[in-house]
């Protein structure tokens, strides 16, 4: 059983540097405290805490209840609708600002 540095855990879990050590000090991750006060981890203990996450686009595991799957699809649909709405509003504002800039340029050209 090899002991790993906190930075190794951060790297393996794609965490920002320092997160594993902070969570250990908060007693939210199992760790080994060395005599000099430094923290090390056993990967086997950390790995047991990792839960797989089902992707919304891939196959759904049997543990996922149908109502949870329906909620996930509804959330995805709402997010897509919001993104489309945002894009439409953005295009409208962009078009309006271009028209306004053209009108201002035309006015400046006429006043000279």
- What is the total count of domains within the chain? 2
Cα distance between residue 63 and residue 5, in whole Å: 34
On whether both 43 and 9 belong to a single domain, the answer is: yes
Burial tier of 20 (Cβ tally within 10 Å: 0-12, 13-18, 19+): buried
- Residue 54 clears pLDDT 60, i.e. is over it: yes
Give me the domain span that covers residue 71: 58-112
Total residue count of the chain as it appears in this document: 112
Residue bearing tokens 């962009």: 94
Quickly list H helices, 13-65: 19-25, 43-47
Is residue 23 within 8 A of residue 6, CB to CB? The reply is no
Higher pLDDT, residue 57 or 109: 109
Q: Are 17 and 7 in contact (CB under 8 A)?
A: yes
Whether the full predicted model's pTM is greater than 0.75, yes or no, is no
pLDDT digits (tens, 9 = 90+) for 61-105: 556 567 777 777 777 777 777 777 777 777 787 788 788 888 888
- pLDDT of 60 reads 53
pLDDT tens-place string over residues 29-39: 999 999 999 99
* In a domain? residue 43: yes
Same domain, yes or no, for 67 and 36? Answer: no
Q: Say if residue 63 is in the same domain as residue 99.
A: yes
Nearest to 18 by CA among 27, 26, 9: 9
From CA 96, how far away is CA 102, in angstroms rounded? Answer: 10
Q: What is the mean pLDDT of residues 51-60?
A: 67
């Amino acid at each position: 059983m090899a002991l790993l540095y906190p930075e190794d855990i951060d790297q393996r879990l794609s965490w920002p540097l320092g997160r594993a050590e902070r969570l250990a000090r908060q007693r939210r991750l199992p760790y080994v405290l060395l005599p000099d006060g430094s923290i090390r981890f056993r990967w086997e203990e950390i790995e047991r805490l990792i839960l797989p996450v089902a992707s919304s686009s891939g196959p759904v595991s049997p543990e996922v209840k149908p109502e949870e799957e329906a909620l996930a699809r509804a959330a995805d649909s709402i997010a897509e609708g919001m993104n489309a709405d945002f894009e439409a509003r953005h295009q409208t504002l962009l078009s309006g600002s271009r028209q306004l800039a053209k009108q201002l340029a035309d006015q400046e050209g006429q006043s000279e």
